[in-house]
Chains A and B, each alone.
Chain A
Amino acid sequence: MRAAWLVVLVAACGASSFGAPGGGDAAQSSDGPSCTVTLAFAPTTDASAMPIAPTTVRATATVDGPGFVSYAWTVTQNGLTVDYTSAAQDNSAIDFDAATPGSYHVVVELNGGAGCPDGIADENVGAPGAQAVDYRLRVWPSPALAPTQEQVVQVEGGADFHYNVTLDPGLALAGTVTNGATGVPAYLRFMPVAAPDAYVEAFAASDGTFALRVLGQAHQVLIVPAAPGTAPALVSWSPGTTTFALGAGTAVTGTVVDGSGAALAGATVQLASGGVPSTLATTASDGSFTVHETFTAGATVAVAVVPPPGRGLPKLAATAAFDLTKPMQIHYATIATTSLAGTAITRGGANQPGAQVAIVGTLAATAGTVVAGTTSANATGTVAIAATADATGKLPATLAPRASLSAVIAVTPGDLAVAAIDLTGAAPASIDAPAQVAVGGVVLDPSSAQLVGVQVDASGDDALAAAGVSDVQTMSGSSGTYTFALAAGGTYDLHYNDPQGRAAPVTVASVAPASPPATVMLAPAIHMAGSLAISGSADPVVGASVQILCTSCSGIAASRPLAETASDGTSSYQLAVPDPGTM
């Protein structure tokens, strides 16, 4: 049997190293006489060999300090005492029965030693047949202590577990953003190469100076200046660099013309590549524009064009490895439009004065082309046209593409409806905005018990998302029931999240308000608990946000925590993590 030294309590040095990936261990330190207490477990808890219940675990204390020492042990699981037997003549080792999976808290009190601290450690014991899932663990400590950081945690199903987190204190960076000899106000995003989502941000003041705490490792830094004539840039950074020199970038010129070939004035054009935007330009009366960029030569470039208001044109988007040394020709396709003038917004047959309408959708046909040098790309067309019903409840003259689109109607702020509108022919005489639908259901925990206090979040899909409609949220009340009003005609993703950690979140996708799920059972959760520490520091980490995020999500889902908490006054945290289950 191989013992793994998991916990080191160093009283003399005032600091200690915490934890090991996948390991459930703990350590603490304090000032005082030199005395080192080491707790070891066998079988070991490491990523490759977690003991599986039922099993017998041996805990061994090794004390390096002056004076005679006797040992008083305590073993608990979920607060309940676990029996043990002595496994050494001097009682420096014990065996305890880990009958069930979970985290076992072991404390050895040392009597007779000169100022020896208690030995404290936690041993994770896994469940048979546990399945494993990786999650991202993100910690947001106070910026004065350490930068935001993230690590991947492999969670094994069927058992609560202990997980201590040692944070890299990083380094304090004070720097300057310049353009020539002049400081430039700017936004800076420091993205660790190893975990770009765990970025830290800063704003450079008008003199270009900024300060933040950042990990002492390689980063990519996105810098978006707030000064005219200076192009955004993505630069590599490593410790030691304090000045970011920006410039005007490379000018990219071009023109925007409409479907008839006429210059389109007042359109905005912006390019982006690798997450870096260009400057923003508005076309002149001759349709010309100039943007400045710092892209990597030959990289894929996204072109975004927003038409001037009132033309009924869609926004264009095209992506290709354009030759930016050549003028960029942006041509709208011939897009027929129709006017919504006089179209009534109705509910229950009554016109709705002041109703706000967003006409949204994506054109089926190619909406235009973007050509630069020998590279040409078709552009998609996205419609986003806003209009407000007049005092008679009718829309003013508003052009929109002749296409099958959707209308997202706010009869009053927050009172929404979604209606399909066919503009391939003449504009309809009216667009009906049905009353919102009262959506309700019951939230259950994995044992089918009703859950009170679960947050239910409805995120609009498709037309609602395109119109920028914000989420609708409510909480489950007595008997686990919830209700809220959703837009008739829309579809929603329903997210169920228990802030109290009694179960793991569940998402039900593409729900029509007319047919919501009657009951939703939240997923089983296991509890992950531990403490936070700053490497090399005895300072507590209080009030740090601790989040669990999925590893395979993208878009906004990658930012939505599956669970979150904050460390308490003792630097401890506890989270309910989705249970990967057992086979």
Chain B
Amino acid sequence: MRARIALIVVAASGCFYTEPINQRPSASIIQASSAAVFRGDTVTLSAETHDPDGDSVYVAWRAYTCSDGTTPAGCDAAPYFQSSSVDISFPAPALRADAVTPTESLRVILEATDSHGATAEPEQELLITVNDAAPTVELRAASSYGFAVGTPVDFYPQVMDADDTASTVFLDWSVLGPAYADSFVDTPPLGKELVVSTPGSWDVQVIATDPAGRSMMADKHVDIVPDHPPCLASWAPLAPPAGQTLPMADPTLFEILVVSDDLDPYPPVVGDPIRGTTTFSWSLLPPGASARVPLAGVIGNSVALDPASYDPGDVIELRVEIQDRTHTPVECADSDPTCSVISDPTCIQRLTWTVEVQ
């Protein structure tokens, strides 16, 4: 639009009155930040306008994606962003309109027009170099086994890259811990599974590098804990307190009903490839004997005793000790009816029934 020349009006009184000539507004582009722009970033600009006549100035923005940004030929024909706001924010797309060609720069046009239609000349143009965006990566760790030694800990990277697909981003993993890892293997699509046998503080680091060589690092700290000892949780019949005996008049099944353990509980967890089950060791102190006899053939959670195999008044001690895969020895004194390898009376690995045959 061109500026209009004001009319010269000759008044009937014979005096000349001259209508002022409307002047063009001026405009300039203000960048909110001088920082480099990367694909996927948001670009924030403002229009600064001035009109010598004090008229209102209206602005129109157009932004084009370009390959080199130095010539209009290098840009898309159609703007991908338009606005009439003074202050604008718009993205720096990763790709040009053909959805194939990477965006190398942005060409931003600002046009200002006053209320009389006069347009600032020349148009304001800003060329913004658009750089390759670095990938971002976050790392998450998960364990179904309480981060216990010997069990898998899964690391899931969340990779994002504004101008590359996650699959083109190269991940370089490393593990730092108090010992060598037992295994550190891929878990599709992008994750890793870590198995270590040494408890302690372990760090897993991943560096994500995109095809342009830009990279980002993330690390995740996990505390690998020792295998918790198994705890006798429920049994039958009731074990007598010190100094008392359990009367047995009928055949009785002495059974451990439940062992709580992080990795080797009883009853076993069906279908879990990592979890195992408790190992039971039974022994018997026969009537009048001074040494316990291991029931070597018994590997299960129960032992049956028949009072008919004994005499009324006989006192028998039946003992069970449990272990998990760690096989921590139960080393309390033989005379102790119960034992906790961690000195926690709520988590015992030995139980003794002192039985009196009726």
A and B, one complex? yes
Interface residues in chain A, defined as those with a beta carbon under 8 Å from any beta carbon in chain B: 140, 142, 185, 187, 201-203, 205-206, 224, 226, 232, 268, 270, 272, 275, 277, 280, 304, 306, 315, 382, 384, 413-414, 455, 457-459, 465-468, 470-475, 484, 499-501, 543-545, 547, 555-556, 559-560, 564-566, 574
| Cα–Cα distance between A232 and B282 once the two chains are bound (Å) | 30
Using CB atoms, name the residue of chain A closest to B309.
A468
17 new A-B pairs (CB below 8 Å) besides A275-B249, A468-B309? A187-B247, A203-B241, A224-B247, A270-B312, A272-B249, A277-B312, A306-B312, A413-B294, A468-B310, A471-B303, A473-B298, A500-B271, A544-B258, A547-B257, A556-B252, A559-B251, A566-B258
Also in contact, A203 and B311, with CB within 8 A (given A187-B244, A501-B270, A559-B252): no
Whether A566 lies near B267 (C-beta < 8 A) is yes
Query: 5 nearest interchain CB pairs?
Result: A468-B309, A472-B297, A545-B257, A201-B238, A559-B253
Also in contact, A556 and B304, with CB within 8 A (given A268-B311, A270-B358, A473-B298): yes
Also in contact, A414 and B296, with CB within 8 A (given A187-B246, A543-B260, A559-B253): yes
For B299, the chain A residues whose CB sits under 8 A away are: 455, 473-475
For A277, the chain B residues whose CB sits under 8 A away are: 247, 249, 312, 358
Q: Which of B268, B298, B303, B312 interacts with A268 by CB under 8 Å? A: B312
Whether B246 lies near A473 (C-beta < 8 A) is no
| Cα–Cα distance between A559 and B304 once the two chains are bound (Å) | 9
For A474, the chain B residues whose CB sits under 8 A away are: 299
A interface secondary structure, majority: strand
Decide yes or no whether B236 CB sits under 8 A from chain A. Answer: yes
Decide yes or no whether B102 CB sits under 8 A from chain A. Answer: no
| Cα–Cα distance between A270 and B357 once the two chains are bound (Å) | 11
| Cα–Cα distance between A205 and B244 once the two chains are bound (Å) | 9
Q: Mark B79-101, 1 if CB is under 8 A from A, else 0.
A: 00000000000000000000000
For B303, the chain A residues whose CB sits under 8 A away are: 470-471
Whether A203 lies near B238 (C-beta < 8 A) is yes
| Cα–Cα distance between A216 and B202 once the two chains are bound (Å) | 54
Also in contact, A413 and B268, with CB within 8 A (given A185-B244, A187-B246, A465-B309): no
Q: Mark B274-303, 1 if CB is under 8 A from A, else 0.
A: 000100001010000000011111111011
Name 8 A/B residue pairs within 8 A (Cβ), A-sorted.
Answer: A187-B244, A226-B244, A268-B313, A277-B247, A414-B296, A473-B300, A501-B270, A566-B258
Whether A306 lies near B311 (C-beta < 8 A) is yes
For B252, the chain A residues whose CB sits under 8 A away are: 556, 559
Taking the nearest CB of chain B, how far is it from the CB of A77, in angstroms? 18
From residue 111 to 158 of chain B, which have CB atoms closer than 8 A to chain A?
A: none
For A556, the chain B residues whose CB sits under 8 A away are: 251-253, 304, 306
Using CB atoms, name the residue of chain A closest to B256.
A545
For A202, the chain B residues whose CB sits under 8 A away are: 238
Decide yes or no whether B211 CB sits under 8 A from chain A. Answer: no
Taking the nearest CB of chain A, how far is it from the CB of B299, in angstroms? 5
| Cα–Cα distance between A232 and B306 once the two chains are bound (Å) | 21
Also in contact, A226 and B310, with CB within 8 A (given A140-B234, A499-B277, A559-B252): no
Decide yes or no whether B32 CB sits under 8 A from chain A. Answer: no
Taking the nearest CB of chain A, how far is it from the CB of B286, in angstroms? 8
For B205, the chain A residues whose CB sits under 8 A away are: none
Whether A272 lies near B258 (C-beta < 8 A) is no
Using CB atoms, name the residue of chain B closest to A565.
B267
Q: Kindly name the residue among A140, A142, A304, A471 whose own CB sees the greatest number of chain B CB atoms within 10 A.
A: A471
| Cα–Cα distance between A475 and B297 once the two chains are bound (Å) | 11
Taking the nearest CB of chain B, how far is it from the CB of A466, in angstroms? 6
Whether B240 lies near A203 (C-beta < 8 A) is yes
Whether B247 lies near A315 (C-beta < 8 A) is no
Also in contact, A226 and B245, with CB within 8 A (given A201-B237, A560-B253, A566-B267): yes
For B249, the chain A residues whose CB sits under 8 A away are: 272, 275, 277
Using CB atoms, name the residue of chain B closest to A502.
B270
Q: Which of B245, B257, B268, B295 interacts with A499 by CB under 8 Å? A: B268
Q: Which of A142, A205, A472, A499 interacts with B241 by CB under 8 Å? A: A205
Also in contact, A280 and B238, with CB within 8 A (given A224-B247, A501-B270): no
For B308, the chain A residues whose CB sits under 8 A away are: 382, 466
| Cα–Cα distance between A543 and B269 once the two chains are bound (Å) | 12
Taking the nearest CB of chain B, how far is it from the CB of A324, in angstroms? 18
| Cα–Cα distance between A205 and B268 once the two chains are bound (Å) | 35
For B267, the chain A residues whose CB sits under 8 A away are: 499, 564-566
Using CB atoms, name the residue of chain A closest to B358.
A277
For A185, the chain B residues whose CB sits under 8 A away are: 243-244
Interface residues in chain B, defined as those with a beta carbon under 8 Å from any beta carbon in chain A: 233-234, 236-238, 240-241, 243-247, 249-253, 255, 257-258, 260, 265-268, 270-271, 277, 282, 284, 293-300, 302-306, 308-313, 358
Whether B298 lies near A470 (C-beta < 8 A) is yes
B interface secondary structure, majority: loop
Whether B293 lies near A203 (C-beta < 8 A) is no
Also in contact, A470 and B297, with CB within 8 A (given A556-B306, A566-B265): yes
| Cα–Cα distance between A78 and B251 once the two chains are bound (Å) | 40
Also in contact, A543 and B247, with CB within 8 A (given A205-B241, A280-B312, A471-B303): no
Whether A543 lies near B240 (C-beta < 8 A) is no
Using CB atoms, name the residue of chain A closest to B311.
A306
| Cα–Cα distance between A201 and B353 once the two chains are bound (Å) | 14
Whether A545 lies near B241 (C-beta < 8 A) is no
Taking the nearest CB of chain B, how far is it from the CB of A463, in angstroms? 11
For B284, the chain A residues whose CB sits under 8 A away are: 470
For A559, the chain B residues whose CB sits under 8 A away are: 251-253, 255, 304
Using CB atoms, name the residue of chain B closest to A464.
B309
Whether B297 lies near A471 (C-beta < 8 A) is yes
Whether B311 lies near A315 (C-beta < 8 A) is yes
| Cα–Cα distance between A140 and B233 once the two chains are bound (Å) | 11
Q: Which of A201, A468, A543 interacts with B306 by CB under 8 Å? A: A468
Taking the nearest CB of chain A, how far is it from the CB of B308, in angstroms? 7
Q: Which of A226, A414, A545, A564 interacts with B297 by CB under 8 Å? A: A414
Whether A545 lies near B234 (C-beta < 8 A) is yes
Using CB atoms, name the residue of chain A closest to B313.
A280
Using CB atoms, name the residue of chain A closest to B269.
A568
For B277, the chain A residues whose CB sits under 8 A away are: 499
Whether B270 lies near A574 (C-beta < 8 A) is yes
Taking the nearest CB of chain A, how far is it from the CB of B304, in angstroms? 5
| Cα–Cα distance between A209 and B304 once the two chains are bound (Å) | 30
| Cα–Cα distance between A277 and B313 once the two chains are bound (Å) | 11
Taking the nearest CB of chain A, how far is it from the CB of B88, in angstroms? 39
| Cα–Cα distance between A475 and B247 once the two chains are bound (Å) | 32
| Cα–Cα distance between A60 and B257 once the two chains are bound (Å) | 40
Whether B298 lies near A471 (C-beta < 8 A) is yes
Whether B268 lies near A500 (C-beta < 8 A) is yes
Q: Kindly name the residue among A226, A455, A468 whose own CB sees the greatest number of chain B CB atoms within 10 A.
A: A468
Whether B240 lies near A466 (C-beta < 8 A) is no
| Cα–Cα distance between A306 and B308 once the two chains are bound (Å) | 11
| Cα–Cα distance between A433 and B147 once the two chains are bound (Å) | 52
Taking the nearest CB of chain B, how far is it from the CB of A211, in angstroms? 13
Q: Kindly name the residue among A203, A205, A206, A547 whose own CB sees the greatest number of chain B CB atoms within 10 A.
A: A203
For B295, the chain A residues whose CB sits under 8 A away are: 470
Taking the nearest CB of chain B, how far is it from the CB of A528, in angstroms? 13
| Cα–Cα distance between A471 and B264 once the two chains are bound (Å) | 23
Whether B312 lies near A459 (C-beta < 8 A) is no
Taking the nearest CB of chain B, how far is it from the CB of A423, in angstroms? 20
Q: Kindly name the residue among A382, A455, A457, A474 whose own CB sees the greatest number of chain B CB atoms within 10 A.
A: A457
Taking the nearest CB of chain A, how far is it from the CB of B307, in angstroms? 10
| Cα–Cα distance between A205 and B242 once the two chains are bound (Å) | 10
Q: Which of B243, B257, B306 interacts with A465 by CB under 8 Å? A: B306
For A280, the chain B residues whose CB sits under 8 A away are: 312-313
